[in-house]
Each structure stands twice: as structure tokens, then as C-alpha cells.
Amino acid sequence: MNWKRIGAIGISFLVLINGCSKSKLDKINTDPTKLTEENFDPNNLLSQAQLKYANLGYYQLLYQSTMMQLFASTYNYYNNGDKYINVGSFTDYQGRIFDEGYKDASYIREMQRLAKLKNPGANQNLIAIGDIMFVLILQRITDTYGDVPYTQAAKAIEGIKFPVYDRQEAIYSQMLNDLETATAQLDSNKPGPTADLFYKGDINKWRKFGYSLMLRIAMRLTKVNPEKAKVWAEKAAGKTFANISDNAILITDASSFESQNGSSLALRTYSDYLEVRWSKTLIDQLRKTNDPRLGVIGEVPNDGLAKSADQNLTGNTDASVQLGLPNGYDLQGGATDISQAPDYPGGTGSGSDFAPLGKYSRPRTNVYLKLGGPIFILSYAETEFLLAEAKVRGWNIEGTAPIHYANGLAGAIQSLAQLDPLATVNATSINHFVSQNFLDESSAEASLNNINTQYWIATGTNFNFIEAWLNWKRSDCPKLVPVNYRGNVTNATIPRRMIYLSTEILNNPQNYRDAVSRMPGGDVLTSRVWWDR
């Protein structure tokens, strides 16, 4: 990205306040209708960063949703994730988390600068929440790419135009320390943020969010530094989310195009609506365990192309008819055409009204495709599954692994009602499912597979596809079978990272090259970040 622009927000304020050298002329020439550092509310930058962080749309749909075999698609630009091939200009999306993430981070740092300038005491919580948000944003960036700027990130206003890429190992140490400090600074007796899209300024919930994020960061280290993971997981345990009311969720705004749910908007595109389906891998997993989510997350379209494309027609939600689309197929008429897939059920309609994917389950329109629908950031179910894993590893965590696992199962299903009341599963069905699907404790491997497969389902059915991918990299669960499609660029393996923003070689060349030189395999999809071993 153009790091010279990253401080544009702060620099604009400096221009406003430094335009005149005499105080009297400053007062005379100040336009009361223009924003200055004195009259701008830094809270607005918090909500801006939160919305942009959460509302990813295609940035997670084109790759992570299908790589993780939660979605499958026959449409061409989904081939990047579904089949691991580079389709035209859509490879640009590989760098979007990098580009957009640092813009979000710049909003946070400018928010904190203004909050400290105005009243650091009164804005203590806003400043601390800024540090928590910064860690949240940077974790996603580093987990996606590996070594990235952290200590020098979003500091163009301080003259740092070419930030050094920190090693991911150092980033993780810094994130944990920063998070611990920020969470400790939260004070329920002081004012909360006034434009908080996650928790409406509830400091107690932010405190639980901080520790839940700490747990997630700690568990990323299980492959490379289990001792450190243990220390930080135990530090967070007992202070994480207590139930689904603690879920971090952002509600979008259907009335404003800029604030509409980006994933819903994308999936309502004609081609996407006809050719993006729940994956066979996911639907088969739900069916195997008689999962009650099967009857609320999907719908089979009405017969025929015209009715299948009509977003006002409710599909069939009966669990018995739900069918997942296998990954790795297209509509090109050759050997990989969906009609050649084993057990292809046939399409619906005929002639010009033929819908080749008409019998496959799509995300339920009235649940998932609301333009003002919610976006999940971090959930109670995720934290309970991570606590269950920590307990399986023998760490000092209150409760038992089966109890945390059961809490995670129940919480994941209950959280669907937060997407829309139509996705509510009654308590009796949830309790029955949980009682029939207890944690397999025959071996640690079996337990970890149970836990992380359910983590994959929970994040996938909440449309948190990036987190599903990141935890899959860490846990290697579930055991996904990669697609081997002609022209794939990964030697038929699921991508382990995204490629850096393409303009970095021009805008920050030396630091970019230094980072790439430290990466086994280089800047490619198959290289692994530090903790992914």
C-alpha cells in the first residue's frame, strides 16, 4: 500500500490547525463549519474502523469461504478459492486484507491521538479499546500473510513512510503484552465510547472481549510454542465470554450502501446467487451427526432458473432435502462440469429455464442475505471450544473439556438466532443434539478433531470464513480433501497464506524483500506463516 497516505487523516488535522501562525488570526479565520482537532469527535473513528474491519464481503468470499469447503461455487471468480487458480484481476483480492487492514489501523491510531489530545483521562476507555482493536486488526493481517509491519505500522504522521516488517514471532509477543495492558486499563467507572458498534460502550463486555481475544491469540501458538500458549491461555481463562450475549457482533445498515452487509450484497449478485452453494463437505458433516443446523442454514431453490434467481421466493428448508455442492466443479461442459460429478442429482427446469445447480442448498436468503444483517467478530462458542482444547492439553483451566465442548456446541447453535429469528433452534433440539454428540475422549487426537471440526462449523455457519481458515491452519482439522483442478497454482494443496499487497514491492521495496527472504518458499500461497508448522 502507499504508506505515505496512511497518515492522511492526521495530517489533514495538522494542516487545519497550523495554517496561521498568530493566535488571533487563527480564531478569526477558523470556519465553524469545518472540522478541527478541537471539534472532531474521535469516537467516530472507532465506528469507522469497526465497520471496515468487519464488513469484508468479497475479501473473504472469493478465497477463504471456498478454500475451507464451507461454500462451493461453479462461477469463474470463485475459482481462486474453490480450485486454487488465479483468475485474472481477482488475484488482487489476495492483498486486500493487508491494504484495508492498515487503513483500519490508521483510523484507530488517529482516534487515539485525538482522544489523548482532547482529554486522556475522560477518554481512557476509548484509548484502551483502541489498543484492543489494533491487536484485533493486526492479528488478522499477520495470520494471513506472516511477517508484517507492527511496531511501525500506521505511523506516517510521525514520519515513518517505510515501516519495517516485524517477524511474526515478535508480533505475537507484542500483541499479547499490548492486549494485557489495554484490557487492564478498562475502567467501568469512566465513560465508555459513544460510537461503539460492537458493544455500545459496555466496558464489562469489552473486558471479556479482551480476554477472549487473548485466548485466541494464545492458542495460535500451540504448534510452535505450547509453553507460551499455556501461560497466556491460563491467564485468559475464567475471564472470557460467559454466554452468547457476549458475542461481538456488528449490525449493518441496509439504508446506506456504504454500511450494508458486504457479504449479503455480494451473494445477492445474480451470478453469485445462482452459483454459490453450501459445500458438500459441510452439509455431509451436518447430516452425519443429525445436526439441527441443517434445517435452518440452507434452502433448496424453487425449480427452474427464473424461480431459482428470484430472491423473493423462499426455498425449501426441509433438512432431508439439503444437498451440498462438491468443490472443484464448473459449468464448462468438460470433464469437470458439475454434471460429471458423482451422484449429480440433475438440475431443475428445462430448456432456457434450466438451473443446473437447482437441487443444491444455498445459504438461506432470509437469514444470511439481509442487507442490514449482523456480522460476527468473535463468539462465545469459539472461546468455549478453545477452552475445551486447552483442557485436553492438560492446562490449568477451570471446568472439564466435555463441559466446555458442550457449551461450545450449544452456543454455536444458539447464536444462529442472532442472525435472524428464523434460524432459531428450540432448546429441546439443542439439548438432544449436545447429549448425543459428546466429546470423544478416546484419545487426545480424537478430542482435538471433534473440537476443531465444530469450530470450523461454528465459524462457517456464522460467515466468519477467515477465522475458519486460520484455525484450520493451526489445528489441521477437519481433514479436508484438497481439490485437484487443472491449472491450479498450489500443486493441489489448500493455500496456507495470501500473497502480500502487490504494490508493496514498489512502495516499501526493501522491507518487503527482507520479509519475503525470511519466508520458506517465498511470497506464494503455499508458504506457511511462522506459527503454521
Same-domain pairing of 405 and 430:
yes
Tell whether 189 is covered by a domain.
Answer: yes
Helices 380-392 and 444-461: crossing angle, nearest 10°?
A: 170
Which range marks the domain in which residue 165 is found? 44-248+378-475
Q: What is the pLDDT of residue 522?
A: 95
Q: What is the pLDDT of residue 2?
A: 60
Short-list 173, 168, 171, 185, CA closest to 131? 185
Same-domain pairing of 313 and 185:
no
Tell whether 22 is covered by a domain.
Answer: no
Give the separation between CA 359 and CA 414, rounded to whole angstroms.
28
- Percent of the chain at pLDDT > 70 equals 93
Same-domain pairing of 124 and 65:
yes
Same-domain pairing of 237 and 299:
no
Query: Which of 445, 475, 505 is a domain's end point?
Result: 475
Tell whether 174 is covered by a domain.
Answer: yes
Give the separation between CA 258 and CA 146, rounded to whole angstroms.
30
Query: Which of 337, 368, 399 is a domain's end point?
Result: 368
Tell whether 261 is covered by a domain.
Answer: no
Q: What is the pLDDT of residue 329?
A: 98
**Distance, C-alpha 255 to centroid of its chain:** 24
81 phi and psi, to 5 degrees?
Answer: -95, -35
Q: Which three cell numbers stand for residue 334?
A: 468438460
Q: What is the pLDDT of residue 78?
A: 95
Contact 128, 491 (CB under 8 A): no
Same-domain pairing of 133 and 186:
yes
Same-domain pairing of 358 and 385:
no
Give the separation between CA 23 and CA 507, rounded to whole angstroms.
38
Whether residue 478 is preceded by a cis peptide bond, meaning omega within 30 degrees of 0, is yes
User: How many structural domains does the chain have?
Assistant: 2
Tell whether 193 is covered by a domain.
Answer: yes
Number of Cβ within 10 Å of residue 398's Cβ equals 11
Q: What is the pLDDT of residue 290?
A: 97
Q: What is the pLDDT of residue 18?
A: 38
Tell me the average confidence (pLDDT) per consecutive run of 10 residues in the chain, 533 residues long. 51 38 38 62 96 96 97 95 86 92 97 95 97 98 98 93 97 98 98 97 98 98 98 98 98 94 97 98 98 98 98 98 98 97 97 98 98 98 98 98 98 98 98 97 98 98 98 98 96 97 94 96 96 95
Q: Which three cell numbers stand for residue 136?
A: 484485533
378 by DSSP, 3-state: which? strand
Give the separation between CA 135 and CA 501, rounded to whole angstroms.
20
Same-domain pairing of 53 and 146:
yes
Contact 252, 375 (CB under 8 A): yes
Tell whether 510 is covered by a domain.
Answer: no
Same-domain pairing of 110 and 166:
yes
Q: What is the pLDDT of residue 1?
A: 66
Give the separation between CA 100 and CA 457, rounded to whole angstroms.
27
Contact 529, 142 (CB under 8 A): yes
Number of Cβ within 10 Å of residue 438's Cβ equals 12
Same-domain pairing of 290 and 392:
no
CATH number for the domain that contains residue 163: 1.25.40.390
Same-domain pairing of 93 and 171:
yes
Tell whether 237 is covered by a domain.
Answer: yes
Query: Which of 475, 492, 518 is a domain's end point?
Result: 475
Q: Which three cell numbers stand for residue 298?
A: 440452507
Same-domain pairing of 202 and 71:
yes
Tell whether 57 is covered by a domain.
Answer: yes
Q: What is the pLDDT of residue 20?
A: 33
Same-domain pairing of 289 and 350:
yes
**Terminal CA-CA length for the chain:** 28
Q: Which three cell numbers stand for residue 133?
A: 482493536
